């Protein structure tokens, strides 16, 4: 009986064909993760170089490989697209996918500024498509449990959140982190995690933001701190670093 129930549940579950745009390190990690996602079908991958896409497809088990992002988006069998391109291309690639009527999971950071984020959301609404940032930390079981405890009032009202995310690298390694044109720096790479944490628990925009940053030799923020104040007087004290 137990086996029959399990089969019935599996039969009812819907599958979705995933397409991945770009073949870098984060796309590789995500492809491994898809193995554990119910209903996820590794369908297609696209790169600006067909050979890279074919190699990626062979290694990670995708059915199709495309030598351009446009070809993948034109495939009617692709249901949802994971955007794994560098930061500065997230908005462009996401909007293209949404206009192709694909659901989108965009790697962090969602966009490089508020105007770009608003345009992405606007496009998603116009095309009636799912759009989500791949903020994986929100799905960590411990974080989910903490959220549950807060919502049930087990620890009382939150008055202050502190959060940090930092690591140490040498200047220029890796290149993209120290490249302003690639939207490098600590805030875009790891600072968004504590900022997202504050947003998750306070569930509103701060009324006031103060920030300080140490700008390094390549003109990106190597060390930065952010103080957010909310309408009820709550505070978020956050900081990030790529040289500390």
DSSP 85-144: S-GGGHHHHHHHHHHTT-EEEEPSSS-SSHHHHHHHHHHHHHTT--EEE--GGGG-HHHH
Name the domain boundary from 134, 164, 190: 134
Question: Does 5 have pLDDT greater than 60?
Answer: no
Give me the torsion for CA of 93, 99, 101, 105, rounded to 10°. Answer: 30
What CATH number should be reported for the domain holding residue 80?
3.40.50.720
Instruction: Mark whether 106 and 150 lie in a shared domain.
Output: no
Question: Does 3 have pLDDT greater than 50?
Answer: no
- What's the average model confidence in pLDDT over 190-197? 96
Predicted pLDDT at 12: 55
- What's the average model confidence in pLDDT over 81-101? 97
Name the domain boundary from 134, 154, 184: 134
pLDDT confidence band for 10 (50 / 70 / 90) = very low
Name the domain boundary from 109, 134, 159: 134
Range of the domain at 194: 140-241
Instruction: Mark whether 148 and 168 lie in a shared domain.
Output: yes
Instruction: Mark whether 66 and 146 lie in a shared domain.
Output: no
pTM: 0.89
Instruction: Mark whether 72 and 193 lie in a shared domain.
Output: no
pLDDT confidence band for 173 (50 / 70 / 90) = confident
pLDDT confidence band for 8 (50 / 70 / 90) = very low
pLDDT confidence band for 74 (50 / 70 / 90) = very high
pLDDT confidence band for 216 (50 / 70 / 90) = very high
Cβ neighbours around 64 below 10 Å, total: 19
Q: What is the pLDDT of residues 18-56, one digit of tens each?
A: 999 999 999 999 999 999 999 999 999 999 999 999 999
What CATH number should be reported for the domain holding residue 165?
3.30.360.10
- What's the average model confidence in pLDDT over 168-175? 89
Instruction: Mark whether 185 and 119 lie in a shared domain.
Output: no
Instruction: Mark whether 66 and 48 lie in a shared domain.
Output: yes
Q: Distance of CA 197 to CAs 29, 87, 162, 176, 220, Å?
A: 22, 20, 9, 24, 23
User: Is 52 annotated in the active site?
Assistant: no
Total domains present in the chain = 2
Instruction: Mark whether 166 and 67 lie in a shared domain.
Output: no
Question: Does 13 have pLDDT greater than 80?
Answer: no
108, 118, 122, 203: the catalytic one is: 108
Structure tokens at 20: 């991945």
């Amino acid at each position: 009986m137990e086996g029959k129930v399990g089969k019935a549940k599996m039969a009812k579950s819907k599958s979705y064909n995933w397409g991945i745009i770009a073949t870098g390190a984060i796309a590789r990690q995500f492809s491994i993760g898809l193995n554990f996602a119910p209903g996820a079908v590794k369908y297609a991958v696209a790169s600006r170089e067909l050979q890279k896409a074919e190699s990626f497809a062979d290694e990670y088990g995708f059915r199709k490989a495309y030598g351009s992002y446009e070809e993948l988006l034109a495939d009617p069998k692709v249901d949802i697209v994971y955007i794994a391109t560098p930061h500065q291309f997230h908005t462009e690639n996401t909007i293209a996918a949404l206009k192709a009527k694909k659901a989108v999971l965009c790697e962090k950071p969602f966009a490089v500024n508020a105007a770009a984020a608003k345009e992405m959301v606007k496009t998603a609404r116009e095309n009636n498509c799912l759009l989500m940032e791949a903020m994986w930390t929100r799905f960590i079981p411990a974080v989910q449990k903490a959220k549950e405890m807060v919502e049930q009032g087990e620890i009382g009202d939150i008055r202050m959140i502190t959060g940090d995310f930092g690591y140490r690298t040498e200047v220029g390694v890796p290149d993209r982190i120290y490249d302003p044109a690639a939207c490098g720096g600590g805030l875009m790479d790891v600072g968004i995690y504590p900022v997202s944490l504050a947003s998750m628990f306070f569930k509103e925009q701060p009324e006031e933001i103060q920030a300080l940053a140490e700008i390094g030799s390549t003109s990106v923020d190597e060390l930065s701190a952010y103080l957010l104040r909310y309408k009820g007087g709550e505070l978020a004290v956050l900081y990030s670093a790529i040289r500390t």
